[in-house]
Amino acid sequence: MLDKLGIKVGLKTTNMKTVTEADIVLFAGVSGDFNPVHLCEEYAEKTFFGGRIAHGALAQALLSAAMAKLPGLVIYLSQSIRFLRPIRIGDTITAIAEVIETREDKGIVKLKNTCINQKKEIVVEGEANVRIYEPPIQE
């Protein structure tokens, strides 16, 4: 089925977003993560970050959106992730999901996940596993 959908090693999908103040505030509301390093400039300036940063899970959500662009019905199974650099308001993040392994018998796809900023710096990296199903027939 993966072959039929064109899913093979090397296939890449991307998702790009410029992170805004509103994104961080809305993400805090949705997630319940009100850590002041995300929401209070005065507090965040006193940390080693030197200012506010986006939630790490926001980057993970951008990766999820990239993986959702794979053909078929994509179900997220697992994720390992490393946060390498902070994401700040105004950063343009490109989330890249690249197929690195497939299990045709199970429809399971292993992906290399990378988020890069507008300076081409890697800010997040990891691996994910998804399961691909035939999409439902649309009538």
Cα-based distances in Å from 107 to 3, 43, 99, 104, 112: 10, 46, 12, 5, 17
Q: What percent of the chain shows pLDDT beyond 70?
A: 100
5: helix, coil or strand?
Answer: helix
| pLDDT(138) > 80 | no
The arithmetic mean of pLDDT across residues 13-33, rounded, is 98
| pLDDT(139) > 90 | no
What was the pLDDT predicted at 75? 97
| pLDDT(47) > 90 | yes
The arithmetic mean of pLDDT across residues 8-17, rounded, is 98
Structure tokens at 48: 């080693």
Q: How confident is the model at residue 112 (pLDDT cuts 50, 70, 90)?
A: very high
**127 exposed, middle or buried (CB, 10 Å; 0-12, 13-18, 19+)?**
middle
Q: How confident is the model at residue 38 (pLDDT cuts 50, 70, 90)?
A: very high
Q: What is the pTM of this model?
A: 0.93
What was the pLDDT predicted at 68? 97
Query: Which of 135, 84, 86 is CA-nearest to residue 114?
Result: 84
Cα-based distances in Å from 57 to 3, 52, 82: 31, 15, 11
Could you give the CA distance from residue 14 to residue 23 in angstroms, rounded to a whole number? 19
Could you give the CA distance from residue 72 to residue 70 in angstroms, rounded to a whole number? 6
Give 118's Cβ-side CA count (13 Å radius). 9
Which domains occur in the chain, in start order?
Answer: 2-19+54-133 (3.10.129.10)
- What mean pLDDT, rounded, does the chain reach? 96
